[in-house]
Structure 1
Amino acid sequence: MRPSSLLAALATGGLVAAAPSPKQPRAGSGDVNPFQGKTQFVNPKWAAKLDQTLRSFLFKGDVLNTLKTWKVQQTSSFVWVSKIADLSNIDDAIADARKAQKWTGKKQIVGLVLYNLPDRDCSAGESAGELKSGENGLERYKKEFIKPYAEKVAAAKDLTFAIVLEPDSLGNLVTNMGIELCANAAPIYREGIAHAIASLQYDHVHLYIDATHGGWLGWDGNLPLAAKEFATVLKMAGEGKKVRGFVTNVSNYNPFNAVVRENYTEWSNSWDESHFASSLAPHLKAEGLPAHFIVDQGRVHLPGARKEWGEWCNVHPAGFGPAPTTNTNNTVVDALVWVKPGGESDGQCGMTGAPRAGEWFDEYAQMLVKNADPSVFKLF
């Protein structure tokens, strides 16, 4: 998961944003935060992967970080559904969330990621998917992926779902149309995401379209272009179809509230993810779109870890970010969440010894524990 190059972002970015003129908000966008009053689902499958990390610290006699790892295992994270075979992950999440809801008496909101567009990841390829547009990929996406995906969540009305739609997709259509694969994939991306939106219109399901992050679409010139692209796709979904909002920083490392402003953010008003959400919000409203956000803080880089915003792969040093919460101190942000399961590699790049994308990288997981935000351990 990565942004386009910083040069591509700057090429369409300016230093001063034109003030957008507001339009009537789209019907049904609503203002009720679906995360409020609910417990974010703790994914036991991801927690089980951290058993290796816990054992690593225990073997070293590192009691403190062993306890910290145990606490991280109790922290909510999203469940990824990245290929047709992963659809069973939804069944497992539903079963586990129902158990948690029964045992605790607390209403669960289950975070899911929908990530399987044909020609996925058109600007890079580390996370290229199983479907190809030239091999009937769009029809397979609709029939073999979206249809069962929708049927599974529709049947679980006793739970609430927050679904992240297609990370890294529409951002490529804003900044990377000079790449042949992205240009060819553009109509596939739009139709696929519009179909997913139309198929997931349930009261207990809340959709968040991926809006990349501040270092990608946060430049002043990109903000209105992004909002127009999102509006195009939502219009394609059909009259009255709605999303709750947008998600930022998926699988990236940007802080929500930067303690130190990095030098490479000098010319951007979106220098952390809170500022990005606030920068994008008026442009969304101008297009009649809901200006609500969730922000991935599963991994956050430490100050000075990157020389440029374009570094996206196993960035180090980094730590688990702030614990998931609805206390965001930003009126357009519904919640901080952990979308990317920390410990899974971004690819064979970045930190030395990194395995292929998606494989467990225990040395990295140990670093994330050691550098984790103190809010994760607030009960200690």
Structure 2
Amino acid sequence: MRRDVDDCPAPGQPDPNPFEGRRLTVSHGYAAQLEQTYDSFIAANDTINARKVRTAQTLGTFVWVPTISGLGALDATISAARAEQIQGGVDQVVGLVLYNVPDRDCSAGESAGELSGTDGLRRYKDEYVDAWADRLRRASDLTFAIVIEPDAIGNMVTNQALPFCAEAKPIQEEAMAYALKKLQFDNVNLYIDISHGGWLGWADNLPLTAQQAGTIVRMAGNDTKIRGFVTNVSNYNPFQAEVREDYTEWNPSWDEDNYARSLAPFLEQEGLPSRFIIDQSRVHLPGAREEWGEWCNVYPAGLGQQGLTDANPYVDSLVWVKPPGESDGQCGFPGAPRAGAWHNDYMIMLVENAHESIVPAASLDRPRQPWWPN
């Protein structure tokens, strides 16, 4: 089922890959949360998995900024990245998620946001996006990879029969276009969210997805540049599936590798870049679900791989966008808390089923970071 790189010619992309030669910044808040999981394994006398947790604490994750009041997370993340870049001597790529579009999550509600309607659009521009722009303008010493509004385009393409989503669409298009226009800095790489292969990867949806993305980019202005797109955010699809699940039979995008390959030509027809980052923070095990509609705290699952890959010429990097261990909502795995809350039992499972690249650390000692005293 896997394709060789030679099956698909490498797209011409003049700009350098922002992940090449850089390290995805470690979130110190997330690393601190993992201490609870570490303690659970130590209490169970499981030092192998405890050392896997130590490894996870050294891996970068994207930081989400889902509210206006949460903008301080940008300051903390930028400070941590500077400390690592200066004291650690490693160039950083700072992963951030811009996630506060008005009438967010119009089709589900588990992650509904704080803004709504035209007043929400005004606040989104003035209080949220402008604050991002101000901070990024003052951080020209760092490189950024920014995910733009998870699920928004998915709802625009497939959920317009829902009145709430239909009413939200023009407001969300304007909001996203404004964000793209305001964040046009040389050190900022913008990746628009385009859901995952099980949502938008069907043959009929591929051209519609590219057209919707093109509409938003053009609304931002002819000079607007984006680096590319992000797939599988907060979902569980593998990059390259070891087993093709029965429910993927009629879908050309049965895993995220094939989704990127399937969508790329349609993006290029729209004059858009065909570059991707792919969230692999949580990957379901074969047979874990019966349909793609099972999206909430899917189990069994494990931590996925990170980093550069030569398996797909369109992919900049495999990344952890959704911090593993944060709940999707009060659904799926038994006892799951509200969306965004820490779910230690789930994280224990993710570590136990981690991808082979997540090897146990050499020591049980807490990893040394400039921002984390030992």
Scaled to the shorter chain, the TM-score interval is over 0.9
Q: 1:349 aligns with which of 288, 306, 331?
A: 331
Aligned equivalents of 1:377, 1:155: Cα separation in 2: 37
Question: Is this contact kept in 2: 1:42–1:77, CA < 8 A?
Answer: yes
Instruction: Give the counterpart of 2:319 among 299, 318, 337.
Output: 337
Matched, 1:197 2:180: yes
Shift of 1:145: 0.2
**Whole-Å separation in 1 of the counterparts to 2:266 and 2:14:** 18
1:85: which partner in 2?
A: 69
TM-score by length of 1: 0.91
Shift in alpha-carbon separation, 1:253–1:193, aligned structure 2, 3 A = same
Q: CA deviation at 1:378?
A: 7.2
**Which of 350, 355, 366 is matched with 1:373 structurally?**
355
> Cα 1:30–1:285, aligned 2, differ >3 Å: closer, same or farther?
same
Check conservation: 1:170, 1:189, Cα contact below 8 A.
no
Map residues 39-58 of structure 1 onto 2, 5 A cutoff.
39-58=23-42
Q: Is the 8 A contact 1:123 1:179 kept in 2?
A: yes
Match among 290, 310, 315 for residue 293 of structure 2: 310
Tell me the alpha carbon deviations over residues 351-372 of structure 1, each in whole angstroms, 9 at most, x when there is no partner: 1100000111000000000000
Name the counterpart of 2:112: 128
Do 1:328 and 1:336's aligned partners in 2 also have CA atoms closer than 8 Å?
A: no
Q: How does 1:229-378 map to 2 (within 5 A)?
A: 229-322=212-305, 324-377=306-359
8 Å contact from structure 2 (residues 55, 360) kept in 1: no
Q: Shift of residue 63 of structure 1?
A: 1.1
Does structure 2 retain, via aligned residues, the 8 Å contact 1:97–1:110?
Answer: yes
2:48–2:360 Cα contact (<8 Å) kept? no
TM-score, L = length of structure 2: 0.92
State the percentage of identical aligned residues: 56
Q: 2:97 maps to what in 1?
A: 113
SS of 1:314's partner is coil
Q: SS state of the match for residue 335, structure 1?
A: strand
Amino acid at match of 1:45: G
Secondary structure class of the residue paired with 1:54 = helix
Task: Give me the whole-angstrom Cα distance separating, in 2, the residues matched to 1:71 and 1:129.
Answer: 33
C-alpha offsets along residues 121-149 of structure 1, whole Å, 9 cap, x if unaligned?
00100000001115x10000000000011
Output the amino acid matched with 2:122.
E
Please show how residues 169-208 of structure 1 align to structure 2 within 5 Å.
169-208=152-191
Structure 2 counterparts to residues 207-246 of structure 1, below 5 A: 207-246=190-229
Three-state SS of the structure 2 residue aligned to 1:215 is helix
Q: Secondary structure at the match of 2:293?
A: coil
CA contact (8 A) 2:195 2:230 kept: yes
Question: In structure 1, the residue corresponding to 2:75 is in which secondary structure?
Answer: helix
Query: Could you report, residue by residue, the CA deviation over 1:149-190 in whole angstroms, capped at 9, with x for unpaired residues?
Result: 111111101100000000000111111100011000000110
For residues 234 and 246 of structure 1, what CA distance do their matches in structure 2 show?
Answer: 12
Cα deviation digits, residues 29-71 of structure 1 (max 9, x gap): 8432111111111111101111111111111111111111111
The letter for the 2-side match of 1:256 is F
Q: Match of 1:372, as an amino acid?
A: A
**Match for 2:129: what amino acid?**
I
Q: Work out the CA distance in 2 between the residues paired with 1:329 and 1:102.
A: 32
Runs of 5+ consecutive residues of structure 1 not aligned to the other structure? 1-24
Q: How many residues align?
A: 351
Q: Write the distance in 2 (CA, Å) between the matches of 1:165 and 1:42.
A: 20
Q: CA deviation at 1:106?
A: 1.3
Q: Which runs of 4+ in 1 moved over 4 A?
A: none
Counterpart residue identity of residue 213, structure 1: H
Q: Distance in 2 between matches of 1:162 and 1:30?
A: 17
Q: Is the 8 A contact 2:232 2:279 kept in 1?
A: yes
- What residue in structure 2 maps to residue 22 of structure 1? none
Matched residues in 2 for 1:127 and 1:158: separation?
33
CA distance in structure 2 between the aligned counterparts of 1:60 and 1:379, rounded to whole angstroms = 18
Q: Structure 2: any 5+ residue segments left out of the alignment?
A: 1-11, 363-374
Alignment partner of 1:185: what SS? helix
Deviates more, 1:333-342 or 1:56-65: 56-65
Kindly indicate whether the alpha-carbon contact (under 8 Å) linking 2:145 and 2:188 is maintained by their aligned counterparts in 1.
yes
Q: Which amino acid in the other structure matches residue 251 of structure 1?
A: S
Is the 1:328–1:335 contact (alpha carbons within 8 Å) kept by the matching residues of 2? no
SS in 1 for 2:95: strand
Q: Is this contact kept in 1: 2:198–2:254, CA < 8 A?
A: yes
CA contact (8 A) 2:288 2:299 kept: yes
